[in-house]
Amino acid sequence: MRGCPCLVALPYFCSMVIDIISVVPELLESPFSHSILQRAREKGLLNIRLHPLRQWAVNAYGQVDDYAFGGGAGMVLMCEPLVRAIEALSAEGAYDEVIYLTPDGERFDQQTANRLSLKGRLLMICGHYKGIDQRVRDGWVTMELSIGDYVLSGGELAAAVVADAIGRLLPGVLNDETSALTDSFQDNLLAPPVYTRPVDFRDRKVPDVLVSGDHKKIEEWRQEESLRRTKEKRPDLQG
């Protein structure tokens, strides 16, 4: 007889792979080499691998881009290096999503971060210059993400943002104190204000309730402050 599914032990070790293809992978080294994400990598929960696109260049000069057909300023990343990169990396195991970071993609938000954090293997492609050949988007990319309505000089900083938002959600990455459940946006509410010592700093006092020791009152206060903050700063979140 099979046991209740609730009693089946969850795998205590699950790891996500995020592969990132970029012309300037150096831009991505620092964001993943400190603090929470570095710890996640050391614990084996998150495996972020950077892949310089130039290793799949079309010639010995390391060419990966070319002029846009039809003219106009700016270079376009070519099909050949990108598709060779995608195929070479996919040979190790299929990706759940092949994500192209682009200002004309779907707006990245907490809900998308939550959804992507449940996947096992992600491939991110950072565009540069004028972007990548449309045929790669049509044939190989499964998801296009933008981190906001402004233009960055390349997809790398956006990839770092997306990978950070996903990585911190993986089981075991955050501890109780830093739990993602109390983040802003997890329930469409902004997080309440926080304070630390001293209780009185240049006549600015910590709200009495927070030092009262009354946990029920504190929880109520936090809930109210969350609502108040959201109404004031982001009324759009509450519909």
- Is 61 within 8 Å of 114 (Cβ atoms)? no
Compute the least distance from the CB of residue 124 to ligand 6GU, in Å: 9
Compute the least distance from the CB of residue 20 to ligand 6GU, in Å: 12
Q: Which residue from 212, 35, 185 is spatially nearest to 114, judged by alpha carbons?
A: 185
Compute the least distance from the CB of residue 15 to ligand 6GU, in Å: 25
d(CA 45, CA 16): 6
Smaller CB separation from ligand 6GU, 102 or 226 = 102
d(CA 166, CA 117): 5
Strand residues in 108-226 grouped as ranges (E): 121-126, 143-146, 200-201, 204-205
Question: Cα separations (Å) of 95 from 106, 111, 116?
Answer: 19, 20, 12
Smaller CB separation from ligand 6GU, 36 or 143 = 143
Smaller CB separation from ligand 6GU, 149 or 177 = 149
Smaller CB separation from ligand 6GU, 101 or 113 = 101
Smaller CB separation from ligand 6GU, 31 or 155 = 155
Q: At 237, is the secondary structure helix, strand, or coil?
A: helix
Compute the least distance from the CB of residue 215 to ligand 6GU, in Å: 41
Compute the least distance from the CB of residue 157 to ligand 6GU, in Å: 8
Tokens at residue 127, please? 């565009």
Compute the least distance from the CB of residue 62 to ligand 6GU, in Å: 21
Smaller CB separation from ligand 6GU, 108 or 221 = 108
Tokens at residue 219, please? 């929880």
Residues that bind ligand 6GU (CB under 6 A): 101-103, 105, 145-148, 150-152, 154-155, 158
Tokens at residue 45, please? 């929960």
d(CA 37, CA 42): 9
Tokens at residue 73, please? 């300023």
